[in-house]
């Protein structure tokens, strides 16, 4: 500890910025120097938990009481805090707080020129009234609102520096409130919208010229109301993600999304016309229900990366359709991302001619959760290994439940298969 204390203040503050706020405050007992040093740390994170859990609503109820942070601690920390600029201010699961306290804390963060703000609560906390100054915060670069009820959005909203905006399970006063929230974000690049029950919005209209990444997450279907509608005016959109989408997607633009290079369609119940907008994609991930068929005549001439989920019965035919229409594909990844029913019957029809990408371009092939005991999967694996004449790397991953001996036996069955590429290295992941 003596060696650390000899470091300059600037370096110590950077180190403390990587430590949870509760532990940073506790360090004030180490020495007189540390009593004032912690108050200059520009990042305050209260009751936070890992980023990878952000979008998993089902895990919220499982979070322990240890994740909570009491309002007295937040208030006391802010009262003593002296950093002129707050780079990051996160409020997550703060227990025993009132709407007025949250209003005060957010106003203090805005007064400190906050750049990264997260407010994540739960319905039991009631309506969170966000201060009007937040909606005109010129320094905000990242804003995340999770499980917040926004009762009122000012007529004038201006986020001049906002680049990343996440609206997760947010309830709005009406559709116009949502539109106003994103109406004046001149440099917004990344927008995530995750719907919830009774969010008071049927049509989400997104018209942001600077937007490059947009994610729709509609994982909770409300059977009592009409399906949500997303109206997206694409201008500079480069990446589009639709997860568990139950509603309707409408895309508007001058041409066929010329800048879109990556799309992730996961458990998407959408019309095939959505796929028709993606002819210039370079990367795509697919998990589509059986009723969605590959659109006739659509060639993915720029596609080099394909990842497809193997949970549906007809996934192999969808795979073959994409391969036949992706002449430059270099990377192919297969994965089982969702659980399957015991009575699932996987089937496929071998094409009359080998897809061009297998003959001339495919270099990497990866299959996760490969179950070699099923004849149809073995047929598909053999077909790809046999016809991919430029293949360099092939990696086969087996289900975690398989014992090592079983994995080795299934792997040897593929290892002896003749391959179209002499330089192909087949490995077991």
Q: What pLDDT, in 10s, does the model give residues 130-168?
A: 888 999 999 999 999 988 888 888 888 999 999 999 999
Q: Report which of 316, 276, 334 is spatially closest to residue 300, judged by C-alpha positions.
A: 276
224 in the same domain as 135: yes
104 in the same domain as 246: yes
220 in the same domain as 158: yes
Q: Measure CA of the first residue to CA of the last residue in the chain; give whole Å.
A: 43
Which of 260, 290, 319 corresponds to the end of one domain? 260
CB contact at 8 A, 49 and 92: yes
164-168 and 393-396 strand pairing:
unpaired
Q: Give 306-327 pLDDT, tens digit per residue.
A: 999 988 888 899 899 999 999 9
CB contact at 8 A, 299 and 322: no
333 in the same domain as 188: no
Residue 42 lies in a domain: no
CB contact at 8 A, 289 and 311: no
246 in the same domain as 343: no
Q: How far, in Å, CA of 336 to CA of 266, rounded? A: 12
Residue 31 lies in a domain: no
DSSP-derived letter for residue 310 is -
User: Tell me, what's the pLDDT at 66?
Assistant: 41
Q: How far, in Å, CA of 210 to CA of 384, rounded? A: 41
287 in the same domain as 206: no
Residue 43 lies in a domain: no
309 in the same domain as 360: yes
Beta strand segments in 368-416, E: 393-396
Number of Cα atoms under 13 Å in the Cβ half of residue 98: 4
DSSP-derived letter for residue 213 is E
244 in the same domain as 330: no
Full residue range of the structural domain in which residue 361 is found: 272-429
* Residue 211 or residue 271, greater confidence: 211
Q: Report which of 247, 330, 249, 324 is spatially closest to residue 283, judged by C-alpha positions.
A: 330
Residue 25 lies in a domain: no
379 in the same domain as 293: yes
Exposure letters 337-367 (e unless 16+ CB within 10 A, then b): eeeeeeeeebebeeeeebbbbbeebbbbbbb
Averaged pLDDT for residues 268-277: 59
Residue 421 lies in a domain: yes
DSSP-derived letter for residue 59 is G
User: In this model, does residue 338 exceed pLDDT 80?
Assistant: no
234 in the same domain as 100: yes
Using DSSP, state whether 320 is helix, strand or coil.
helix
Give the global pTM.
0.83
222 in the same domain as 88: yes
337 in the same domain as 282: yes
Band of residue 56 on the pLDDT scale cut at 50, 70, 90: very low
Give the orientation angle of helix 99-111 with respect to helix 71-80, to 10 degrees.
30
* Number of folded domains that form the chain: 2
Mean pLDDT of the chain: 82
């Amino acid at each position: 500890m003596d060696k650390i204390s000899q470091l300059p203040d600037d370096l110590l503050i950077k180190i403390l910025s990587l430590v949870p706020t509760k532990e940073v405050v506790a360090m004030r007992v180490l020495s007189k120097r540390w009593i004032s040093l912690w108050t200059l740390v520009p990042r305050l994170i209260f009751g936070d938990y890992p980023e990878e859990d952000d979008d998993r609503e089902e895990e919220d109820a499982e979070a322990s009481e240890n994740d909570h942070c009491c309002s007295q601690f937040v208030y006391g920390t802010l009262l003593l805090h002296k950093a002129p600029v707050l780079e990051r201010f996160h409020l997550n699961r703060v227990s025993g707080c009132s709407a007025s306290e949250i209003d005060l804390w957010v106003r203090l963060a805005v007064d400190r020129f906050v750049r990264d703000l997260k407010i994540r609560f739960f319905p039991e906390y009631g309506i969170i009234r966000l201060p009007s100054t937040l909606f005109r915060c010129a320094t905000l670069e990242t804003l995340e609102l999770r499980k917040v009820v926004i009762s009122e959005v000012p007529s004038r909203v201006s986020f001049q520096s906002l680049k990343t905006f996440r609206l997760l399970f947010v309830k709005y006063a009406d559709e116009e409130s949502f539109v106003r929230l994103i109406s004046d974000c001149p440099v917004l690049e990344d927008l995530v919208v995750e719907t919830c029950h009774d969010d008071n919005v049927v049509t989400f209209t997104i018209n942001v010229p600077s937007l490059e990444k947009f994610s729709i997450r509609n994982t909770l279907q409300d059977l009592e109301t009409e399906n949500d509608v997303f109206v997206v005016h694409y201008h500079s959109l480069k990446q589009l993600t639709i997860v568990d989408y139950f509603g309707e997607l409408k895309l508007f633009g001058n041409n066929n999304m010329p800048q879109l290079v990556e799309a992730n369609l996961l458990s998407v119940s959408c019309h095939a016309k959505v796929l028709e907008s993606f002819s210039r994609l370079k990367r795509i991930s697919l998990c589509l229900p059986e009723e969605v068929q590959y659109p006739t005549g659509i060639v993915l001439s720029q596609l080099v990366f394909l990842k497809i989920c193997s949970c549906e019965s007809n996934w192999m035919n969808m795979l073959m359709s994409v391969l036949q229409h992706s002449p430059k594909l270099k990377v192919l990844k297969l994965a089982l991302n969702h659980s399957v029913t015991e009575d699932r019957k996987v089937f496929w029809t071998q094409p009359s001619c080998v897809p061009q990408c297998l003959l001339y371009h495919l270099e990497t092939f990866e299959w996760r959760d490969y179950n070699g005991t099923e004849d149809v999967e073995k047929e598909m694996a053999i077909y790809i290994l046999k016809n991919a004449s430029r293949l360099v790397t092939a990696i086969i991953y087996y289900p975690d439940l398989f014992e090592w001996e079983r994995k080795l036996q299934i792997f040897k069955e593929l290892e002896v298969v003749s391959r179209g590429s002499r330089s192909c290295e087949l490995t077991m992941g």
